[in-house]
Amino acid sequence: MYTKSIFVASLAFVLAACGHVDPNRVTRPAGSKPFQGDRAELVQLGATLWKDTSLSTNGIACQGCHVNGAQFKKSFAAAYPHPVAMAKSMANLKAIDAEQMVQFCMIVPMKAEPLPWDSKKLAALTAYIEDSEQPSFKSKKM
């Protein structure tokens, strides 16, 4: 019997195996500026958004694929930007930063539009990944 996390992980793998993502959709446009705000507030909002299924069109939240670090590979322990197999195979990106990964996940597993580049939500999810999820993964895996 599949648990929800195994199902979601399998779904993400299948999505990665078929399809192409335009790298311009996940790469910050030249001259655009990210949302600026209090880092602690952004991380706190990011923690909420990490569990928010309403960001997707298919009911998946970030946490759905990344329950207790699932779906993070050894490269996640490396500083950004770093290689991510799914981003390389689907968008031909040799390395990806946290912000790009948020956008990539919005498009592929979550089947939604990328977040606006100047949005508080994008800044919050990026900050949460960098300050909470990645350090937590490193401490568990290293």
Q: pLDDT tens, 38-52?
A: 999 999 999 999 999
Sign of CA dihedral 134, 40, 122, 125: positive
Domains of the chain: 38-141 (1.10.760.10)
Q: Report residue 124 as tokens.
A: 């919050």
Residue 96's pLDDT band (boundaries 50, 70, 90)? Answer: very high
Q: Please tell me the distance from the alpha carbon of residue 88 to that of residue 126, in angstroms, as a whole number.
A: 20
Mean pLDDT of 83-87: 90
Q: What local confidence, expressed as pLDDT, does residue 1 receive?
A: 44
The C-alpha atoms of residue 25 and residue 18 are separated, in whole angstroms, by: 17
* Token pair 């192409």: residue: 20
Closest CA to 8 of 57, 64, 63, 46: 64
pTM of the model: 0.83
